[in-house]
A = this chain, B = another copy of it.
Amino acid sequence: MKITTTLLALCIITASTITIAQPKPEDQIKFRQSGMMFMRWNMGIIKSQVIKNPQSYNKESVIKSANTIAAIANSGIESLFNTESATGKGWKDTLVKPEYFEQREEVEKYIKSFTEQANKLVTTANTGNPGLIKKQFAELLDACKACHKKFRSKKK
């Protein structure tokens, strides 16, 4: 019985090790910086169409961008922040603050809020109402900024 239990424990450890196998720290940083940057491009597209140049508003284009932001938000990008990747360089030096790795429960709340706002933006984009999209875009941007303010250093 003891052996069986030990074997079972070993299997669980092995299985969970495989599941959480992660890219090496510099790749984690590169991947997460890539996800952030691609969201930024899509945020820019939406901003351009509902704030800066409303006459260029195109429903399909905004839907595509909202879908992309939401897919990245839901991709599990937060798994790319292992403790080993707290410092280091991906495409560039990481800007994440040490607090991020010390306040995981707090971080979770910010990620949850950001993901919810991103999902809402998809729903709103599909209404085709630029006024509603503009409002929801602001909500999402607030969620981005709140997390950046708390957990991202100023750009060097």
Contacts and interface: CB of A to CB of B under 8 A. Distances in A.
Contact of A38 (B34, B45, B53): B34
A31, A34, A65 — most chain B CB neighbours (10 Å): A34
Interface in A54-85: 55-56, 58, 61, 64-65, 67-68, 70-72, 74-76, 80
Copies of this protein in the complex: 2
Contact of A37 (B15, B30, B42, B68): B30
Contacts of A76: 45, 61, 64-65
A72 B45 CA distance: 14
Contacts of A35: 34, 38, 41
24 contacts: A18-B55, A18-B56, A19-B58, A21-B56, A23-B44, A30-B37, A31-B37, A31-B38, A31-B41, A34-B34, A34-B37, A34-B38, A35-B38, A35-B41, A38-B38, A45-B76, A64-B76, A65-B76, A67-B74, A68-B71, A68-B74, A70-B71, A71-B71, A71-B72
